[in-house]
Amino acid sequence: MLCSLNEIEAQLRKAARGAGLSWGLAEEAGKAARWLAMHGIGCLPSFVALFEQHSSRPYDEISIPQEEGRWRARGGALCPLIAGTAIVDRAEEIAGGRNVELATVAWPVLLAPFAATVVSATGASIVLAWPGARFIFADTGVRLDATPGVTADVAGAASAHYASCGRLVGTAQGAPVKSEIAGIFVDDSVWPRLDAFVQRTYVPASEESRLKGAGAGLLDTD
């Protein structure tokens, strides 16, 4: 199916909320999905898998308990949305030369939009890397320098045992990642899985809610 960037952002925002993320993180998920789709990076299966893996887990198992040294989660893999927002919060430090290191992180490609935000916020050139892939973000655009033969798998990496985000040293290398302006084709099997999370945000109708205005209730004059 063909979806617009607006549809993707809205669907991911609602699905993230249905998966148990705060409204703030849900907003960030929608923006991240839009950025990835706009750059032709197939991200929706990654979001679905992330929501399915993390929706039933306590926040403190997938978040950053302390930010000294390498960031790591208590329960295994860091959530890339939580880690990504923490990276943005430290944009000025990263632009100033701090290198943020992460231990095991789920679906590392979902960190890319947050690294791009550091560039737009500071003007610095940033590199985001994990084993097999290296994204370079600069005011001239985005480049992907991937290990030969694994470029197509960048979006499909379910986890990375290490990732880093820091200021670029040297010149940008790699293949340019072009922006897409048309609709994005989404696998028909992915949208219903996202919609299952969206449905969780809807409150089932009840007699009391109808009487209070959710629908016609007893005032239906048809």
pLDDT digits (tens, 9 = 90+) for 178-215: 776 667 788 889 999 999 999 999 866 544 444 444 43
Q: Using CA atoms, how far apart are residues 7 and 211, in angstroms rounded to an integer?
A: 32
What's the pLDDT score for residue 219?
37
Q: Which residue has the higher pLDDT, 51 or 207?
A: 51
Q: Using CA atoms, how far apart are residues 37 and 174, in angstroms rounded to an integer?
A: 20
| Least reliable range by pLDDT among 25-34, 63-72, 94-103 | 63-72
Q: Which residue has the higher pLDDT, 77 or 29?
A: 29
Q: Using CA atoms, how far apart are residues 99 and 211, in angstroms rounded to an integer?
A: 56
Domain limits of the chain?
2-202
What's the pLDDT score for residue 32?
96
What's the pLDDT score for residue 205?
52
Residue 20 predicted with pLDDT over 50: yes
Q: What is the DSSP letter of 79?
A: P
Beta-bridge partners for 3: 184
Q: Using CA atoms, how far apart are residues 116 and 31, in angstroms rounded to an integer?
A: 12
What's the pLDDT score for residue 213?
45
Residue 36 predicted with pLDDT over 70: yes
Residue carrying structure tokens 């449905």: 199
Average pLDDT of the residues in 18-32: 94
Collapsed DSSP state (helix, strand, coil) of residue 166: strand
Q: Using CA atoms, how far apart are residues 8 and 60, in angstroms rounded to an integer?
A: 28
Residue 5 predicted with pLDDT over 70: yes
What's the pLDDT score for residue 58?
76
Average pLDDT of the residues in 16-36: 94
- To the nearest 10 degrees (0 to 180), the angle between helices 112-122 and 80-89 is 10
Quick: pLDDT tens for 147-165: 555 445 677 788 999 999 9
Residue 61 predicted with pLDDT over 90: no
Q: For the chain, give me the number of helices (H) and strands (E)? A: 9, 10
Average pLDDT of the residues in 138-151: 71
Tell me the backbone φ, ψ of residue 149, rounded to 5 degrees. 90, -5
| Least reliable range by pLDDT among 85-89, 204-208, 218-222 | 218-222
What's the pLDDT score for residue 75?
79
Average pLDDT score, the chain: 84
Collapsed DSSP state (helix, strand, coil) of residue 169: coil
| Concatenated DSSP letters of 83-139 | HHHHHHHTHHHHHTT--EEESSEESGGGGHHHHHHHHHHH---EEEEETTEEEEEET
Token output for 60: 């403190």
What's the pLDDT score for residue 151?
47
Quick: pLDDT tens for 98-115: 999 999 999 999 999 999
Residue carrying structure tokens 């499909």: 156
Tell me the backbone φ, ψ of residue 4, rounded to 5 degrees. -80, 165
